[in-house]
Amino acid sequence: MTASLTTAQACEQLGVKPATLYAYVSRGLIRSVPGPSGTRQRRYDAGDVQALAGRQATRRDPQAGVQAAVQGSLDGLRAGGGGGVTPILDSALTRIEDGTLAYRGVDALGLADTATVEAVAALLWTGDPRTRPTLPLRARLNLSRHPRADTPLEALGYALTYAGAHDPDALDTRPESGPRQAARILTLLHATAERHARLPPAPDLPLHARLARTWGRPDGADLLRRALILLADHELNVSAFTARVTASGGASLAHCTLAALSALQGPRHGLGALHAHDLLRAALSGDARAALRDATRRAGHAPGFGHALYPHGDPRARALLNALSGQYPDHPVTRATDAVIRAHAGDTAEHLNVDLALAALTLVLGRPAGDAVTLFALARVTGWLAHALETRAGGQFIRPRARYVGPA
């Protein structure tokens, strides 16, 4: 179910008369659907109206559009449905448009069906999935020298700090060394996750199989492969932009990744899956509506639902949940997830997002809530490295100016 507006509501948001609204519909800018049964009224897609209103506002005040893009306010994004915010950087990595996600022009959902994590990393880093650097990192960096971490995320942070300070390869700034360094960091982090699980590294396995082995769930390997690909990049989110800013100052790829990892750990970015995990775990008791109500009270919103860039639904979430229900159709978590989605649909037109799918996946595999964020981080490392490499190659120095509003 998609949110819709009456003629009066749509005209008010756009600041136009009905005749202009009808012209927008005829030009395909706004979708129209039948109104209540038994009437001749029409309704207008709320996401289309918001996107068009945002684009109009940006044309009237380009500076305000740029400011909204830099600030990245959720309200600003929603006002434009994601499409009304002025882009502030050129990038050839990821396109989010009309409810679709593509890496360098290749549909991400199609890649999740057939590709390896390594091939997608090579695609993002070089533009060619066949140029994957072969670097079997057999824990060349002395992982035993790291402090013992309490969580996998903490262990990843220690590894990146150590690599940035002690890996001589990180000091090589030649452009051709970038993909090799990126592969080294990505495999280092998988080796770190293995060490945290007290397992020896398995460098000859594909990355998704290594993670499945680390989690003790070889049956979940293909689901993890899909998740690692679907979450590999998502344009200029908080953590990717952090990686770009850090790279623009000349930092090593390890330090760029460390900065992005730190930015990930906020409730409005990577930690959203924790609330969704708690919601689904509570829904396993059988009362999805009560679990949703309690989770919404704690988080201030329905965890795992709504995304400013996908007003009609997050394609990553649906793709991952379809694969999960296909493999585990009768699992209690699968049933609980479906019940939560139905309960939420009865109250609002807000669609599920990838946080809910991550929570469902980790619960099905018997993993704690924190591993939903660990999976998010291990997936997004690929994109962080791609953003850092692209920033390096473009020679960008990202240093926005502030508009001073303090005392004269």
Give tens-digit pLDDT for 244-280.
999 999 999 999 999 999 999 888 787 889 999 999 9
Residue 94 backbone phi and psi in degrees, to 5: -135, 135
pTM listed for this prediction:
0.79
The rounded distance, in Å, linking the Cα atoms of 186 and 318 is 27
Q: Which residues contact 75 (CB under 8 A, 6 or more apart)?
A: none
Give tens-digit pLDDT for 18-53.
988 988 888 788 988 888 877 888 899 887 888 788
Which pLDDT band holds residue 193 (cuts at 50, 70, 90)? very high
Asked if 300 and 294 touch (Cβ cutoff 8 Å), the reply is no
Give the CA angle between residues 383, 386, 388 to the nearest 5°. 110
Residue 94: strand pairing partners: 103
What mean pLDDT is reported for the chain?
86
Which value, in Å, is the radius of gyration of the alpha carbons in the chain?
22
User: With b meaning 16 or more CB within 10 Å and e meaning fewer, what string describes 201-216?
Assistant: bebeeebbbbbbbbbe
User: With b meaning 16 or more CB within 10 Å and e meaning fewer, what string describes 303-320?
Assistant: bbbbbbbbbbebbbbbbb
Neighbours of 129 (CB within 10 A): 20
Of 192, 232, 187, 185, the closest CA to residue 380 belongs to 232
